[in-house]
Amino acid sequence: MAKPVSAIYPGSFDPVTNGHLDVIGRSRGIFDRVIVAVLVNLDKEPLFSTDERLEILSEVTRQWDNVEIDTFEGLLVNYAASKKAQVILRGIRAVTDFEYEFQMALMNRRLRPDIETVFMIPAEAYSYLSSSLVKEVFTLGGSVSGLVPSVVEDSLRKKIRSIKG
Ligand code: PNS
């Protein structure tokens, strides 16, 4: 029997968008196990805390039994190896993503040649979507409806309200 294939889908997910969910939904049909791994980056000040991001991700992927949510610190390849994952999964939206992703994939391969990076393309409708644009548009009063799950919209509303006081 073929060995089950596990993929790590890493990122900041601050917050998760429908583009991320589209990639997770596609990947779970290809890999036996998909681990969505939130980077704990102490140098960056995220809008949502690690716990908030984990809670949102758990909620929006609850219906998918082969998708797990986790956090990681340090080198991604070391984390992937600790999870016995064979694949690092990344979404590519447009040509502009390519250079950065290409560099990361080759550096990760140099560090751990046994771990393969696989790229997936989200649905066209999400090709311009990013967490930072979502935050900017929402903060300035624009609608992000249809671009993020409703739980994210609710969380953004609460978060902005608490920041504005
Ligand atoms: O949400 P992002 O910014 O697209 O995710 C970037 C991420 C988390 C995949 C990348 O920053 C990462 O892997 N960080 C962990 C540290 C690491 O392994 N750095 C070397 C990458 S070649």
Task: Write out pLDDT tens, residues 104-138.
Answer: 999 999 999 999 999 999 999 999 999 999 999 99
Nearest to 87 by CA among 9, 3, 1, 2: 9
Domain of 14, CATH number, reads 3.40.50.620
Range of the structural domain that residue 41 is part of: 6-128
Flag whether 75 is in a domain. Answer: yes
In a domain, 140, yes or no: no
Asked whether the beta carbons of 69 and 56 are under 8 A apart, the reply is no
134 part of a folded domain: no
pTM of the complete model beyond 0.75: yes
The response to whether residue 19 sits with its C-beta less than 6 Å from ligand 1 reads: no
- Residue 122 domain flag: yes
Inside any domain, residue 159 = no
Q: How many structural domains are present in the chain? A: 1
Instruction: For residue 46, give the H/E element and its range.
Output: none
**Residue 118 in contact with residue 7, Cβ under 8 Å?**
yes
* Residue at 88 is within a domain: yes
With respect to residue 148, please indicate whether it lies within any of the assigned structural domains: no
Q: What is the CA radius of gyration of the chain?
A: 16
The reply to whether ligand 1 has any atom less than 6 angstroms from the CB of 130 is no
Please report which confidence band the pLDDT of residue 43 belongs to, taking 50, 70 and 90 as the band edges. confident
**Most ligand 1 atoms within 8 A of CB, residue of 39, 72, 93 to mutate:** 39
